[in-house]
Amino acid sequence: MKTRLLLLIIALTVFSCKKDSEEATVIFDRNDLSSANTVLLESVMEDAFTPPVASRIYAYSHLAHYITLQSILNDSLPEVTSKLNGLDNFKVPEKSDVNPELSALLAFSTIGKKLIYSEQYFDELTLNLKSQAKENGLSEELIKSSEAYASEITKQLSAWIDKDMYIETRTYPRFTSTKKPENWRETPPDYATALEPYWDNIRPLVIDSANVYKYKPLPTYSTDKNSEFYKMVKEVYEESLSTTEEKGKIAWFWDCNPILTIHKGHMVTTIHKFTPPGHWLNIVNQITEKENSDYVTTTKAYTLTSMAMFDAIIGAWHVKYKTDLVRPITYIQEYIDPDWESILQTPSFPEYTSGHSATSASAAEMLTSIFGDNYAFTDNTQMRFDLEERSFNSFKEAANQVNLSRFYGGIHYMQGVEEGGKQGAYIANLILKKLQQ
């Protein structure tokens, strides 16, 4: 009897040690999270989502990953669900026999698939994640329990996501330009309708509302050559006349037009690129690789950056459609030079404030909070589009170059980019403050 009991105890101990060892096995690292982010970027680019919609897809996918990982590794990451608008009643599922990284990556894949059209990207990602887990010794039981845990998380997040007003704004009336000289009008070459005029109806993630930033008033519209408004526009025109090759390179490096159209006679071709927030998430990829960041730091970098950009774009879009400001190309062609063309294609929405500036400043603030004030880096994001890599002494220097790029490109006034940058930084710091409470 004693012998049988001893054997049973030994068997249970061995099983328990094996189980504990299996759960503690590190199968996934920073590279796997970065690869998942790349899948996200590629699918968004393939489907040609606009910058606001892309920011939503990025933020929710990375939040799904963060929330799942944090709920398992409580001591490694600060809790965020109680700080997110509308997610106060989130409940952490019962957990046992769960691999943290696998479960978090599967949650990422589930939410990513929910939000894009090219679902095959995430079907393949999910399959590869489970295959990698199995090949590295995780049992079928542990893989299934990790997947079930992720499912419990994503069910709650999916219900929360569906209540952010995105679905409702798809049904709102089409925006019609006023045709007043001071207001935005459809611009060449595509004369496309206004993009996401109701985006400030989308529920922000952390900030209280879309209008948290008090923007600098614009000069009064005027065609008088001595007026402040005319001088603001003339500055863009004069800059274009004295532009340099380097300024042109800066403009194109930060163009980030997800659907660039090229017109040749009656033929129109399109080129898909990363959106502005996609560009910054690819910078996160490069920085975390350079630093060989651990899994938790990489998770923070992706998630905080995507959260800040999402809220910054909501804030910028609120000001855009509130001020409804005419773009430089419209004013210049009508009152200064009818043959003038901007270097970059003018986006199909009002000018003030610059969305790319707000996006970039918010990302720069978040990355600075993680990696430091004077973090030098080289960005090779645009090499796939036959552009050179560019080096910066800090994230904020890169964001400031974004401001200049929109001015050099002829699509924004200097006040629009400067104020957009201030707006993005302000919103990012509001988020940091709230998350630290």
**Phi, psi (deg, nearest 5) at residue 84:** -90, 135
Q: Which residues pair with 378 in a beta bridge?
A: 391
- pLDDT of 20 reads 45
Q: Which pLDDT score is estimated for 209? A: 97
With respect to residue 403, please indicate whether it lies within any of the assigned structural domains.
yes
Residues 81 and 221 in one domain: no
CATH number of the domain bearing residue 215? 1.10.606.20
78 plus 221 within the same structural domain? no
Q: Are residues 221 and 276 in the same domain?
A: yes
| Tokens found for residue 268 | 């129109």
Predicted local distance difference test score (pLDDT) of residue 260: 61
Whether 153 and 245 map to the same domain: the answer is: no
Q: Which structural domain range is residue 148 located in?
A: 19-164
Q: Are residues 310 and 336 in the same domain?
A: yes
| pLDDT at site 3 | 45
Q: 375 lies in a domain?
A: yes
| 55 and 109 together in one domain | yes
Of the candidates 38, 366, 24, 50, which has an alpha carbon nearest to the alpha carbon of residue 198? 50
Q: State the residue for tokens 């993005």.
A: 424
- Does residue 247 sit in the same domain as residue 136? no
pTM of the model: 0.93
Closest CA to 308 of 288, 284, 272: 284
Cα distance between residue 281 and residue 120, in whole Å: 21
Tokens of residue 122, six digits = 């995430």
Q: Please, are residues 50 and 202 in contact by the beta-carbon 8 Å criterion? A: no
CB under 8 Å to 252, separation ≥6 — which residues?
343, 344, 382, 387, 409
Tokens of 220: 């009064």
Residues in the chain predicted with pLDDT less than 70, given as ranges, are 1-25, 259-270
Q: Do you find a cis peptide bond into 261, omega within 30 degrees of 0?
A: no
101 and 188 assigned to the same domain: no
Give the per-residue pLDDT at 11.
38
Cβ atoms of residues 106 and 146 within 8 Å: yes
Cα 5 to chain centroid, rounded: 58
Q: How far apart are CA 82 and CA 93, in angstroms?
A: 15
Residue 398 counted as domain residue: yes
Statement to judge: residues 214 and 306 lie in one domain: yes
Claim to verify: residue 223 and residue 153 sit in the same structural domain: no
- Domain assignment present for residue 37? The answer is yes
Token output for 13? 């101990």
Same domain, 261 and 137: no
Residue 119 belongs to a domain:
yes
| 4 in a structural domain | no
* Total domain count, the chain: 2
pLDDT at 385: 86
